[in-house]
Amino acid sequence: MTEMDDGSSRPPQISEMFQKFALAFKTKTFEFFAEEEAEDSDSLALLDSAEEVITDQKVVVIKPDGAAADHKDSQLQITPKKPNLSETQVKKPELAATAHVPFVEENLKAADRALISHLQRLSEFKHFYRDFCTSSNFGSDIPIGSCLEAQVQENQSKLRTLGTMSNRLQTEIDQKDNEVMALRKKLGEIQKSNLKLSKRLSATLNSPCEVLLSVRVFDSVLHDACRLTHRFTKILVTLMEKAGWDLDLAANLVHPDIEYVKKAHNRYAFLSYVCLGMFKGFDSKGFGLDESEMLCNGHGPELDKNKASLKQLLEHASSNPMELLSRNQNCEFSRFCESKYQEIIHPHRGIFNFYMASSIWMLQKLAYSFDPAVEIFQVERGIDFSMVYMEDVTRRLLLPGTTRMKVGFTVVPGFKIGRTVIQSQVYLSGLTCTE
C-alpha cells in the first residue's frame, strides 16, 4: 500500500512480519500434503507441540524502538535452519493479509492452536487410511462390499461349474448321437439283408425248395428257438430269486424227487418247464389252437397244406412280431402267444418273450412245410439213456462200462426229419459229475 500525503492520517498497513508468516505457513502446508508415504518424525513432533508453529524455523520477534516507530510498526525475522524452498520462492510475497489485524497476541495463539489441531486430525486420517489400506484384513470391515464381492465370486464359481457340466453333457449327447447313428446304420443294413433273404425265400415258393427244406435249416431255426428259451428262463429265475421264491421247492414242484448233481442244476427244471410248455401242441396243424377257428391268413382248404405252411412262415419271417401283434390282435400268431402266456406265466402275471414265441411259431410252420412233416418226441422219466435219441444237457462225460443211466426229465424235445434224428436233451439222475 502507498503512503498518504503529509498532514493526513496513515491507514494501518499489513506488517512484513505477517507476510513472512503466511508465506512460511503455506510452504509447510504444501510439504505436509506432499509426503504420502514417507515417515517424518520431525513433522509429527511439530504436530504434537502446541508452542511451535513451524518446524525447523527459529522465530525472533524484534520489538520496534522509538527511532524506527515512524517507519515500521513491528518486524518479524524468520531464520530458516533447513530451508526447503529456494531463496526466490521464500522472498516472493504471495499473501497480502492475515487473519488478525491489528495484531492481538491472544487471538493469534488461539488461531495457531486451532490450526495445529486441524493439522493433527488430518495427519491422523492420513496415517489411518494408509495403515488401513496396507492391512491384510482390508475390506473385512465393510459389510456391503464384502457381501457383494462374495456373491460375485459365488456366482462366478456356479457359472464355471455349470459350464463344466454343460460341456460334459454335450459330450455325452454327441456320443449318444453317434451311437444312434451307428445303430440306425446297422439296422438299415440288417433290414436290407432281411429283405434280400425274404425275396430269395419268396422266389423258392414255386421251386422244389431243396435249400429251404433241409435238416440244416431246421436245426438252425431250432438252435435260435432254444437260445431264446434259455435267455427267457434265465430272466424268469432271476425274477423269482428277487421275489424271494424257494427255488429248490419250485423245482421239486416241476419235477419231483430229482437228485441233482449240483444245487444250481435245479434251473434245468425251470428250462424244461418253459420248453415243454412252449412246444406243447407242436404236432398239431394249429399248434394247439382250435382247428375250426384258424384264420390261416386267407389260405383256403384247396391249397396244398405244405405250401400254405411255408407261405405263412415266409410272411411271418419278413415282419416284426411286435408289429404283427399291434396290427392284428386276433390273428393266429396273436392267439398263439395269448395261449402260451396263459399256460406258462398265468396266474403269476410275469413277463413274456414274444420273440421266443415267434421263433417257435416259425419252427412249427417250417416243420409242416416238410413232406412228410417233422415229428416231435420227448423222453419219459425212468427210460434208459440212449446216445442215439438223447443228449445229456449238462454235457457230462459218460464212461463206457458203467451202469446205464436213467432219464430224470426231458429238457428240450427231440425231432425226426425222415430218417434223421435231432437228439432230445435230457437230465440224467444218479450220475456223478465229472466236470
| pLDDT level of residue 324 (50, 70, 90 thresholds) | confident
| pLDDT level of residue 139 (50, 70, 90 thresholds) | low
Mean pLDDT of the chain: 75
What SS3 state is found at 221?
Answer: helix
**Whole-number pLDDT of residue 426:** 95
* Cβ neighbours around 350 below 10 Å, total: 14
424 with 413: CB under 8 angstroms?
yes
215 with 420: CB under 8 angstroms?
yes
CA distance 289 to 75: 141
Lowest pLDDT segment from 51-55, 135-139, 187-191, 406-410: 51-55
Name the nearest CA neighbour of 90 among 101, 99, 78, 102. 78
CA distance 188 to 194: 10
Residues in CB range of 4: below 8 A, 6 or more apart: 10, 11
| pLDDT level of residue 407 (50, 70, 90 thresholds) | very high
333 with 286: CB under 8 angstroms?
no
* Cβ neighbours around 376 below 10 Å, total: 19
204-220 pLDDT, tens digit each: 555 545 556 888 999 99
**Residue percentage of the chain with pLDDT more than 90:** 30
E-only strand ranges, 63-196: 75-80
* Cβ neighbours around 20 below 10 Å, total: 19
CA distance 16 to 22: 10
What SS3 state is found at 250?
Answer: helix
294-321 pLDDT, tens digit each: 433 434 443 466 778 888 888 888 888 8
DSSP characters over 342-385: HHHTTTS-----HHHHHHHHHHHHHHTTSSSPPEEE-PPTTPBP
4-15 pLDDT, tens digit each: 444 444 444 445
325-335 pLDDT, tens digit each: 888 888 888 88
Q: How far apart are the first and last CA of the chain?
A: 134
Name the nearest CA neighbour of 214 among 432, 418, 49, 392. 418
Pick 292 or 178 by higher pLDDT: 178
Place of cell 522509538: 66
**Whole-number pLDDT of residue 130:** 83
Place of cell 415258393: 205
State yes or no: pLDDT of 66 exceeds 70.
no
233-248 pLDDT, tens digit each: 999 999 999 999 999 9
182-207 pLDDT, tens digit each: 999 999 899 888 888 777 766 655 55
Name the nearest CA neighbour of 263 among 246, 273, 248, 249. 248
Q: Measured in whole angstroms, how far is the alpha carbon of residue 394 from the centre of its chain?
A: 45
Place of cell 503529509: 6
CA distance 424 to 407: 11
416-427 pLDDT, tens digit each: 998 899 999 999
C-alpha cell of residue 381: 422219466
State yes or no: pLDDT of 372 exceeds 50.
yes
**Strands 390-392, 57-62: parallel, antiparallel or unpaired by DSSP?**
unpaired
DSSP for residue 94: -
**Whole-number pLDDT of residue 144:** 53
What SS3 state is found at 394?
Answer: coil
What SS3 state is found at 24?
Answer: helix
| Long-range pairs of 250-255 with CB within 8 A, sequence gap ≥ 24 | 255/381, 255/408, 255/409
DSSP characters over 170-205: HHHHHHHHHHHHHHHHHHHHHHHHHHHHHHHHHHTT
CA distance 258 to 429: 7
